[in-house]
Amino acid sequence: MGIPDNIQRLIDGRGYTVNEMGMSGSKIMVFDDCVLKIVGHRQENEDAVRLMRWLEDKLPVPKVLAFESDGEHHYLLMSKVKGKVSCDKYYLEHPRELLDMLAKAVRMLWSVDISDCPRCRDVDAELKEARYRIDHGMVDIENAEPTTFGEGGFKDPEELFAWLETHKPAMEPVLSHGDFCLPNIFIDGDSIGGLIDLGDTGIGDKWRDLALCWRSLKHNFDGTYGGKVYPDFDPDMLFDVLGIEPDREKLRYYLLLDELF
């Protein structure tokens, strides 16, 4: 892949590292003060970039410095957010501090006026994308939760998709991050330094973000991610800090929906 000339001029000769965290299949080049994300044509498209620009004065998100497409890939050059990733060892060793900051990030998202939000990522939009992924063999069942497919679970992605279509929950609309997991939330002291990976951000159900955050907390603390177990942690504490009762049916629905992504 060849980086477009106008972006290449902005990064030419500068050192960088490659961030391989996450499972999006994108290439992420991290410079001192900016980040270049290179993704396939169905990711981080013009709608997502328009949403990022809309958010620049509303939330701590990366500023779009340049965006180009060559038909096969999108090239998004962004400013670099401040702080440490929320799955940093420090925050895993200080779970109450982590939970307080995650709750702050959730409330920031919910506080955004979505009346003129330029992008909708509701259940129907997600199911449309899931259908495409199934049809093109893009669902990786090897990375699914052990109970999702097979004995006691769904036979295959098709059966899961059929269940999702017939069990769509009523939406509680908010600005949804879309992938509200610990690697996508940066903490800078007592502030949210930034929210990144906004490819699925838009108007959506608040329980999708809560479901993915709950799962991210669970697996960062139980050793699934990173290999180290941090004992005596219950991801349900997220709901305690937010002061809300967990809706188990919606949490399950959005966790199952995410298995197709």
Q: Where are the domains of the chain?
A: 5-79, 84-258
Percent of the chain with pLDDT strictly greater than 90: 90
Domain 84-258 has CATH 3.90.1200.10: yes
Comparing 5-79 with 84-258, is the CATH topology the same? no
The b/e string for 109-137 (b: 16+ C-beta within 10 A; e otherwise) is beeeebeebebebbbeebbebbeebbeee
Q: Is 179 a catalytic residue?
A: yes
Q: Residue 38: what are its φ and ψ, rounded to 5°?
A: -115, 120
Report, as an integer, the average pLDDT of 16-36. 83
Q: How far is CA 48 from the centre of its chain?
A: 13
pLDDT for the residue numbered 24: 56
Q: Residue 85: what are its φ and ψ, rounded to 5°?
A: -65, 145
pLDDT for the residue numbered 22: 55
Report, as an integer, the average pLDDT of 227-253. 97
The CATH architecture of the domain made up of 5-79 is: 2-Layer Sandwich (3.30)
User: How many other C-beta atoms are found inside a 10 Å radius of the C-beta of residue 43?
Assistant: 17
Cβ-proximal residues to 72 (8 Å cutoff; 6+ apart), any chain: 1, 40, 41
Choice among 135, 179, 197, 200 that is catalytic? 179
Q: How many residues does the chain have?
A: 261
Cβ-proximal residues to 29 (8 Å cutoff; 6+ apart), any chain: 11, 16, 17, 18, 19, 35, 36, 37, 38
pLDDT for the residue numbered 25: 61
SS3 per residue for the chain: CCCCHHHHHHHCCCCCEEECCCCCCCEEEECCCEEEEEEECCCCCHHHHHHHHHHCCCCCCCCEEEEEECCCEEEEEEECCCCEECCCHHHHHCHHHHHHHHHHHHHHHHHCCCCCCCCECCHHHHHHHHHHHHHCCCCCHHHCCCCCECCCCECCHHHHHHHHHHCCCCCCEEEECCCCCHHHEEEECCEEEEECCCCCCEEEEHHHHHHHHHHHHHHHHCCCCCCCCCCCCCCCHHHHHHCCCCCHHHHHHHHHHHCCC
Q: Are 73 and 41 in contact (CB under 8 A)?
A: yes
Q: Are 184 and 195 in contact (CB under 8 A)?
A: yes
pLDDT tens-digit map of 65-114: 999 998 789 999 999 999 999 999 999 999 999 999 999 999 999 999 99
Mean pLDDT, rounded, of the chain = 94
pLDDT tens-digit map of 176-213: 999 999 999 999 999 999 999 999 999 999 999 999 99
